[in-house]
A and B are shown apart, each in its own frame.
Chain A
Amino acid sequence: MLAAFRESKLQVATSTLLATIMQFILLIRFMHLTGQGLGQAGGVTGMVPTFALMYVPVMFMPFLANSLLIRTFIQERASGALMSILATGINPGILWAMKTTAIFICCYIISLAVLEIDVLVMIFLFKLPIVFSITNVFLITVISPLAALAIIAVVSFLYWTVRFGYMFSGLFPLIVIVVLYGFAITQPSAIELIRGAMTVTLVSGVIVFVCGYIISKTSRARLLGL
């Protein structure tokens, strides 16, 4: 990841800016959806604007991850770096997991910065009340990124295992954005939130495990495109 950031600062910056703009447009849409409406309090999360922030990581992170994956994976394969790494005897599944985790952590750190910008804009520009509670913060900083991890894992998996997978794997983050765009927000109850959080955690874990397992069983020749 260090190499990718050093080599593609402009690409990272551009991708970050695009993702920020995109998720911001969606945030504004969420804030205008009926359910509770703007400025109304209710439910465990407090208000719709606060609740809408939960969707930021899941929209932003996969989009940025895809940009980083394009750079790192294709370049490593073309330069022979991936072949050299696999020649050390490392399990391909573990290697995949390490790289995907590194990308996830980088995207997570950037998304936290973007979230701060969102909060400041919502408070000072749109004069919206943002209510921070333990539940809100937990949803925004843990559960939502876990959902993003699942999408990043699938995108990364496609890069590694499907020939020319990079040509269509970028669709996944866009699909997420489109689905969320059409998603009507209603304020969930506490039980629904807990169930949702547990489901996201479990599903993300299963997806990451299954992807890693399949890659560990995939021949190295196939992973290298030989």
Chain B
Amino acid sequence: MVVEFESVGKQFKKLKALQAVSFQIMEGEVLGFIGPNGGGKTTTARLMLGFYKPTEGIVRIFGRNPATEFHRIGPLVGAMLEQPGIHDGLTAYEYLQFYGGLFRMSSADCEARSQELLKLVGLSDRASGLLKAFSKGMRQRVSMARSLLNRPRLMILDEPFDALDFESRRIILDLLPRLSKEEGTSVFVTSHNLAEVEEISNRVAIIKQGRIVAIDKMESLRKQVGSSTLLVVSLARDYPKEKLEQLVPHAEYRRKDRTLVFQLDTVNGRQDDLLMHLLKSGISINSVDRQSASLEDVYFELTK
């Protein structure tokens, strides 16, 4: 077991940031941690890094207490925090060399590893460029390279996809599952970006108001909300929400897409009757489709 949270609570003056949070991360596992702003994602990451001590419960990283023994844990961990933590006045190469020194890597190893990582994140042609001139996406890539420098056994990534361009996002999305499978690196990743988390995670934890609402593999989470398959009815135009709620109380109306979403098991073979009911009530329908419940669907269902 790489990470263990056992009934962890964290109180800040009047705010209870975490309450009875329990989970584990095994070797080579990617755990996605999703939740709304202020849900407790960053607090959890900081507890893992030993920046905070838990008010209740126990946190263990590689069997050690990160709050008191992080000097032993740090060399095994790669962290990519909410801010890239970039020194604007350094070049990408110098930045990695600086961290190589902090990890007490030999010059030769640090140089080889820096070149390798800059190539991996697609920045080898910008190695001599000042970080000041890098875009947000490029800074995140440098930050990713830095977090991999010491060949970590655990990666803690807090909002790594935030404000990234497509190319940068794809690089990270391709890299993380490969790391966990090929090198046995465990990954803890927090994000608002549900699609990306769904793509890379072995398991997903949903946190809301400091409590874990659900934690399981994607397929099991879909079953938890009733059905892994949805019936999606696309409407021809916008309708008042109250009217739709009255007509089909068990459906979810997504105004942005102008769709009515049903759990397939609630429809229960009465799909044709349902559609006739809508049409007779004056609702114009564009199309009807079946989809697998996405992480977003699961998230909204479990956190409402």
A and B bound? yes
Interface residues of A (CB under 8 A from B): 2-7, 75-76, 79-91, 219-221, 224, 226
The minimal Cβ–Cβ distance linking A123 to chain B, given in whole angstroms, is: 38
Which residues of A are found within 8 Å of B216, using beta-carbon distances? none
Binds A, one of B1-9, B47-55, B116-124, B240-248: B47-55
Given contacts A7-B132, A84-B84, 19 further A-B contacts (CB under 8 A): A2-B89, A7-B88, A79-B84, A79-B85, A80-B83, A81-B87, A84-B85, A84-B146, A85-B102, A87-B49, A87-B79, A88-B75, A88-B99, A89-B70, A89-B72, A89-B77, A90-B102, A220-B50, A226-B52
Q: Which residues of B contact A (CB under 8 A)?
A: 46, 49-53, 70-75, 77, 79, 81-90, 94, 99, 102-103, 130, 132, 143, 146, 150
Q: List 23 A-B contacts (CB under 8 A).
A: A3-B87, A6-B89, A6-B90, A7-B88, A75-B88, A79-B86, A79-B87, A79-B88, A81-B85, A81-B86, A84-B79, A84-B84, A84-B85, A87-B81, A88-B74, A88-B150, A89-B70, A89-B71, A89-B73, A90-B102, A219-B53, A220-B51, A221-B51
Whole-angstrom CA separation of A188 from B102 in the bound complex: 45
Q: Which residues of A contact B75 (CB under 8 A)?
A: 88-89
C-alpha gap A225/B52 in the complex (Å): 12
The 8 Å CB contact of A80, one of B52, B82, B88, B94, is: B82
Q: Are A91 and B52 in contact (CB under 8 A)?
A: no
Residues on B with C-beta less than 8 A from A83 are 51, 81, 83, 85
A90–B100 alpha-carbon span in the complex (Å): 12
**CB-based contact A221/B52 at 8 Å:** yes
Q: In the docked arrangement, what's the CA distance between A77 and B187, Å?
A: 26
Point out the residue from B51, B74, B87, B130 that lies within 8 Å of A224, measured CB to CB: B51
Are A3 and B88 also in contact (CB < 8 A) when A87-B49, A226-B46 are?
yes
**B103/A88 in contact, CB under 8 A:** yes
User: Which of B51, B82, B87, B130 is in CB contact (< 8 Å) with A226?
Assistant: B51
Q: Which of A7, A80, A220, A221 contacts B81 (CB 8 A)?
A: A80
A6 to chain B, nearest CB (A): 4
Q: How far is the CA of A7 from the CA of B86 in the complex (A)?
A: 13
Tell me, in angstroms, the Cα distance from A226 to B45 when the chains sit together.
Answer: 13
Residues on A with C-beta less than 8 A from B71 are 89-91
Q: CA A140 – CA B82 in complex, angstroms?
A: 47
Chain B residue numbers with a CB within 8 Å of A82 are 85
Q: List chain A residues, Cβ under 8 A from B73.
A: 89
Question: Bound complex: CA of A89 vs CA of B152, how far in Å?
Answer: 13
